[in-house]
Structures are given as C-alpha cells and as structure tokens.
Amino acid sequence: MNNHEVMNGNPQMNGELIVVSGPSGVGKDALLELLFDSLPGVVRSVSATTRPPRDAEIDGKDYHFISRGEFEKGIESGYFYEYAEYGGNLYGTPKSAVDEQRAAGNDVILKIEVQGAELVKKLTPDAHLVFIEPPSFEELEKRLRSRKTDTDEKIAERLGIAQKELGLSENYDYRIVNDDLLETASRLKNLILSLRDRT
Ligand code: 5GP
C-alpha cells in the first residue's frame, strides 16, 4: 500500500470530519446506510477509484469510477485530499466536495482505509477516526465469502490486508465491534451526536 499527502486541511470549517475504517467485509456500507437514513446532516464523501465497479455499484453514488490515467491527472492537479493504493487499485478523496459539505455545516464521512485515515488525522487533527471491527477474524472471512463479489484470490488478498488493518486499529479515536448491525449503527449515531454537542 502506498499513500500520499496531497493538500492541507482547512481547520476553519463547520461540519465534523469523520473517518470510518474497517476491514473489507466488516459491514461498513450497510452500517453507513442505516446511519444516513437515521441522521440528517451527515453526508458521505464519494471517492474516486480505478477499481472496476461491482455488480450493483452506481457510478457517482458508490464511487467515481475512473481510469488510472484520469486518476493520475487528478493527483497532479491537486484534486485529491488524500489517496492510497489498495489491492492494486487507486482510491482517493476529492478535496473540494469535502470542503463544500463541511462549509455548508454537514458532517462528512470518509469511508477510507487505514493509511488514508492516518493522513487525514495529520492534515486535519480535529478529524475523528472510527474503526469498525469484526467480532472475530473467522466471522470476517465468512462474511467476505458469503458476499460472492470477489474471487478466492481477491478474498485471500483482502484477508491479508485485513489482518494488517486490525493491527493498526489502536491508532483510532474510537473502535466499535460490529456484532449486531442495528446496535452498531445506533452507537455510531450516538457518537456523532455527542461530537456535535461537544462543538
Ligand atoms: P472497496 O474496493 O472494498 O470498495 O474498497 C477497498 C478499501 O478502500 C476500503 O477499505 C475502502 O474504505 C477504501 N477506500 C475507499 N475510498 C477510499 C479513498 O478515497 N481513500 C482511501 N485512502 N481509501 C479508500
């Protein structure tokens, strides 16, 4: 995994910047959908990626699916707040969309991997880092296999990355074990409400 610092964060904005990480298959997408349904004023940053879309994914909603050439141009022009290489593909957070949403008073969720999260904390020290953990490594493997979206080779690669990611979760501000999805969503919602109260 490579990772690169691109632009400086702007500390004068209103909405909170919240990073949500966790190994592939831990349930981040389902969790965030429940969160967005139940809490107004929270939006997700839509990343750009060079990974091809999975079956049900929609361009512009799940990701901006772009070519490596386009991504590289984006890097050069300073389009990305942060970006990283994961499993052979590039993933990056568009800076302007995040800034605009925060300036409008919305809390912005970045669903990104661990090295991107570390960079965000460096660029924007008041960002809040949340790590979603599986109940166990065996459970994670079961969930990844039942998803049926990746080949055995990809699953093995994602599990290898997951092992490393779990080792880095102690650098996060908050850790939540996703045992029961509804309960995890409610804990995440309460966490964001408490962050709003604090500021
Ligand atoms: P997936 O291919 O499963 O959608 O994503 C692979 C990993 O890349 C996940 O951990 C996801 O959170 C992370 N990711 C998605 N977008 C970004 C991004 O913009 N920046 C970084 N650093 N990681 C991202």
- At 84, which amino acid appears? A
pLDDT given at position 9: 43
| Averaged pLDDT for residues 111-128 | 95
Answer yes or no: is pLDDT of 177 > 60: yes
- Position 199 scores a pLDDT of 64
Percent of the chain with pLDDT over 70: 93
Q: Is 165 in the pocket of ligand 1 (CB under 6 A)?
A: no
Distance 16 CA to ligand 1 centre (A): 20
Q: Using the mean position of ligand 1's atoms as its centre, give its distance from the Cα of residue 145 in Å.
A: 19
First-to-last CA distance in the chain?
Answer: 35
pLDDT of residue 129: 98
Tokens of 41: 């004023």
pLDDT level of residue 107 (50, 70, 90 thresholds): very high
Which pLDDT value is given to residue 85?
94
User: Does position 136 have pLDDT exceeding 50, yes or no?
Assistant: yes
In angstroms, the CA 113 to CA 68 distance is 19
Choose which residue among 18, 81, 98, 111 to substitute to test ligand 1 binding: the one with the highest number of ligand atoms within 8 A of its C-beta. 111
pLDDT at 191: 97
**In the predicted model, is pLDDT for residue 120 greater than 50?**
yes
CA 171 to chain centre: 15
Q: Report how far residue 95's alpha carbon sits from residue 5's, in angstroms, rounded to the nearest whole number.
A: 12
| Residue in the block written with tokens 């800034």 | 99
Residue range 113-140: mean pLDDT, rounded: 95
Ligand 1 centroid to Cα of residue 103, in Å, is 24
For residue 82, what are the CA distances in angstroms to 6, 13, 72, 92, 148?
6, 18, 13, 6, 30
Q: What is the pLDDT of residue 198?
A: 82
Average pLDDT of the residues of the chain:
91
- Domains for the chain: give ranges and CATH numbers: 2-198 (3.40.50.300)
Q: Give pTM, 2 decimals.
A: 0.89
Is the pLDDT at 5 greater than 70? The verdict is no
Structure tokens at 7: 């632009």
pLDDT digits (tens, 9 = 90+) for 36-46: 999 999 999 99
pLDDT beyond 90 at 150: no
Find out whether 90 and 49 touch, Cβ atoms under 8 Å: yes
Phi-psi group of 133: left, alpha or beta (phi > 0 → left; psi -120 to 50 → alpha; rest → beta): beta
| Cα distance between residue 50 and residue 68, in whole Å | 6
- Spatial distance between the Cα atoms of 39 and 110, rounded to a whole number of angstroms: 16
Is residue 1's pLDDT more than 80?
A: no
CB 80 within 8 A of CB 45: no
Predicted confidence at residue 11, as pLDDT, reads: 45
